[in-house]
Amino acid sequence: MNNNLTYDFAIVGGGIVGLATAMTLGDCYPDAKILVLEKENDWASHQTGNNSGVIHSGIYYKPGSFKARFCREGSRSMVEFCQQHDIPHEVCGKVIIATTTAQLPLLDNLYERGLANGLGVRKLSAAEVAEYEPHVSCLAGIHVPTTGIVDYKRVAQKYVEIIQAQGGELKLGTKVERIRHTSNTTVLDTNSGSFETKFTINCAGLQSDRIAKKSGADPQAKIVPFRGEYYELVPEKRYLVKGLIYPVPNPAFPFLGVHFTRMIDGSVHAGPNAVLSFKREGYHKTDFDFKDLAEVLTYPAFWKLAAKHADEGIKEIVRSWSKAAFVRSLQQLIPEVREQDVVPTHAGVRAQALKADGSLVDDFLLVPGKNAMHVCNAPSPAATSSLEIGKAIVAAISQSPFQANTVKV
């Protein structure tokens, strides 16, 4: 062991969900000894630090699901947190638009879902959409007023500062390599020594299924990494986008489609597509890891998923390699956009859990284990929902937090 200290809680993963959970634990258990382990040399290096910075409203998610509830409540609590801590943000709203007659019924369905989720959504005619976004071409739209923008890396850094002020211990560059259970505690063996804890919370994102298995838990799903690539409007073309412009999502495809997002720094990002990453943390087309790729390609569920979405998947791959194809998708929303108006920018990797039957886990997934809780699916809108996910995890540990049989989901 590093020392004789036994922690009450150890959180594996220093992204926004892990940090929010540690912060919430510090609030609820001020005398608890809390440890956060992050394998990278900076906080929020993966999904948190490479996302679109949107404070989501919750319009897309099935009423009653964790995503719908946590996102709706999270959009409010995230804005309140930013106000309290002077973090730059803006509740700018967004428009979701139908560009073909076939999309109009889908737009109506989405509007009804927004109402069911308790959002103040409003139907828009094409002329009304133009009042929000003059350069958009569409048949109709929805206005979602509670959508906002923020820099989540900055939010995560504030979480770190609060955890430190609470007395929590945070360690960067500390990778969990093995997990051992004793009769009453768990030992986390890392590249920087061993740490003993009464309760482990796995918030490892792209590595969450692997950490769960090291702990002896079965998430009944495997993380498949999908890279989302973005372009950015050149500064002189930013006037084309005032806020956030989204297409009606294809209900048969599990991703939202390319869209325009004005970032909190004033830049405008366009994307993302969604392609299989050949490395769990592969942010570039050339990134490759044999073990990571083999794990996906030998998982029968992946081929079931690929067969189901073959047509859309091929389109995503084409958009990945062809700027012209990517721009054509953008032109469906804003016809004025030209190839010279966009330049490549960062990419993100989504940690998406895939079940053995070939279906994607479409909600946040919390898996109880031996003196542990594993967050095994927390893609978007996890950043928006981070404070609410943290509250839910702490609530799930019940009044006697250190007994495995008290964990409830």
What is the CATH classification number for the domain harbouring 290?
A: 3.30.9.10
Q: Is residue 67 part of a domain?
A: no
- The pLDDT score that the predictor gives to residue 30 is 95
- Whether 144 and 164 map to the same domain: the answer is no
Q: Is residue 82 part of a domain?
A: no
- The pLDDT score that the predictor gives to residue 408 is 35
pLDDT tens per residue across span 173-192: 999 999 999 989 999 999 99
The answer to whether the beta carbons of residues 240 and 135 sit under 8 Å apart is yes
- Whether 232 and 332 map to the same domain: the answer is yes
Among 354, 371, 390, where does a domain finish?
354
* CATH number of 390's domain: 3.50.50.60
Q: Is residue 114 part of a domain?
A: yes
- Whether 345 and 391 map to the same domain: the answer is no
Among 354, 371, 397, where does a domain finish?
354
List, in order, residues 6 or more apart from 290 with CB less than 8 Å away.
Answer: none
Query: In 3D, which of 315, 326, 16, 36 has the Cα closest to residue 168?
Result: 36
List, in order, residues 6 or more apart from 193 with CB less than 8 Å away.
Answer: 1, 2
Strands ordered across the beta sheet of 89-90: 54-55, 148-150, 89-90
State which amino acid sits at residue 148. G
- Whether 145 and 169 map to the same domain: the answer is no
- The pLDDT score that the predictor gives to residue 398 is 65
Q: Is residue 132 part of a domain?
A: yes
- Whether 183 and 319 map to the same domain: the answer is no
- Whether 238 and 336 map to the same domain: the answer is yes
The answer to whether the beta carbons of residues 269 and 260 sit under 8 Å apart is yes
- Whether 312 and 175 map to the same domain: the answer is no
Q: Is residue 64 part of a domain?
A: no
The answer to whether the beta carbons of residues 206 and 287 sit under 8 Å apart is no
Give CA–CA dist 207/113, Å, rounded: 32
- Whether 214 and 232 map to the same domain: the answer is no
Q: pTM for the complete prediction?
A: 0.94
Q: How many domains does the chain have?
A: 2
- Whether 187 and 332 map to the same domain: the answer is no
- Whether 318 and 239 map to the same domain: the answer is yes
- Whether 318 and 196 map to the same domain: the answer is no
Q: Is residue 264 part of a domain?
A: yes
Q: How many residues does the chain have?
A: 409
Among 354, 382, 397, where does a domain finish?
354
Which portions of the chain are predicted below pLDDT 50? 399-409
What are the C-alpha distances in Å from 181 to residues 37, 193, 198, 214, 302? 18, 16, 10, 10, 32
Q: Is residue 57 part of a domain?
A: no
Tokens of 374: 């594993």
Q: Is residue 273 part of a domain?
A: yes
- Whether 107 and 256 map to the same domain: the answer is yes
DSSP 144-162: ETT-EEE-HHHHHHHHHHH
Alpha-carbon torsion 123, 127, 133, 139, what sign? positive
The range of the structural domain enclosing residue 186 comes to: 6-48+153-220+362-406
What are the C-alpha distances in Å from 262 to residues 46, 349, 390, 393, 408? 21, 20, 28, 32, 39
